[in-house]
């Protein structure tokens, strides 16, 4: 073998070695990228599972919206059922602050008469939401049904108890609450008793 043959053979081995080294580096880089992609996808599935599925993202957004609606309806319903003639203004102000639209206007316009009747009758009531559920909802409005227990005391109930100790002040109500979104909050926009 001549010196030229040794040089050519050496170059060939060097090129083959370099090719092996380059393919090993390329394989290591590719493996690293695949591992990184796997970790990113796994992290997204754990932290934000809805980001990988548009259907899941929409369901998650609807669920969050519904939770906001129910929380706002619960606050408004409890505020509406809370009456104490000895400290009525802050309670009425709370109902107004949780309301909008027609309901808010009607409540405000009847506030003077309501306050007078509550004071005259020494009305006190506290409510509890027993059941609550959304009939239908979209991003701007919702209809919520509420079953509520209310314990009421007033002069008429006190007088009736004197005649019959079995008289209690417990009432069970069913309401339809209309909820409306204003900005990023939900407010009571209508309330009616459901029989």
Contact 123, 87 (CB under 8 A): no
**What confidence tens digit (pLDDT) does each residue in 18-72 have?**
556 566 766 676 677 667 777 777 776 776 665 555 566 667 888 999 999 999 9
Q: Could you report the per-residue pLDDT of 126-184, keeping only the tens digit for each?
A: 999 999 999 999 999 999 999 999 999 999 999 998 999 888 889 999 999 999 999 99
Determine the Cα–Cα distance for residues 69 and 71; give it in Å rounded to an integer: 6
Burial 65-78 (b: 16+ CB within 10 A, else e): beebbbebbbbbbb
b (16+ CB within 10 A) / e for 16-55: eeeeeeeeeeeeeeeeeeeeeeeeeeeeeeeeeebeeeee
Q: Are 91 and 82 in contact (CB under 8 A)?
A: yes
């Amino acid at each position: 073998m001549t010196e030229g043959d040794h040089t050519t053979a050496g170059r060939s081995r060097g090129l083959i070695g370099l090719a092996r080294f380059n393919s090993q580096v390329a394989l290591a880089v590719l493996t690293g990228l695949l591992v990184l992609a796997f970790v990113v996808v796994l992290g997204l599935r754990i932290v934000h599972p809805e980001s990988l599925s548009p259907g899941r993202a929409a369901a998650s957004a609807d669920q969050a919206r519904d939770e906001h609606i129910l929380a706002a309806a619960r606050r408004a319903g409890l505020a509406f059922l809370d009456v104490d003639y000895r400290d009525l203004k802050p309670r009425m102000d709370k109902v107004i602050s949780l309301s909008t639209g027609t309901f808010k206007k009607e409540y405000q316009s009847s506030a003077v008469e309501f306050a007078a009747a509550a004071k005259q009758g020494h009305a006190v009531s506290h409510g509890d939401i027993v059941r609550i559920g959304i009939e239908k909802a979209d991003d701007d409005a919702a209809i919520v049904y509420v079953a509520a227990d209310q314990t009421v005391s007033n002069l008429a109930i006190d007088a009736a108890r004197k005649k019959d100790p079995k008289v209690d002040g417990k009432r069970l109500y069913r309401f339809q609450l209309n909820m409306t979104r204003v900005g990023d909050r939900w407010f009571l926009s209508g309330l009616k008793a459901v029989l």
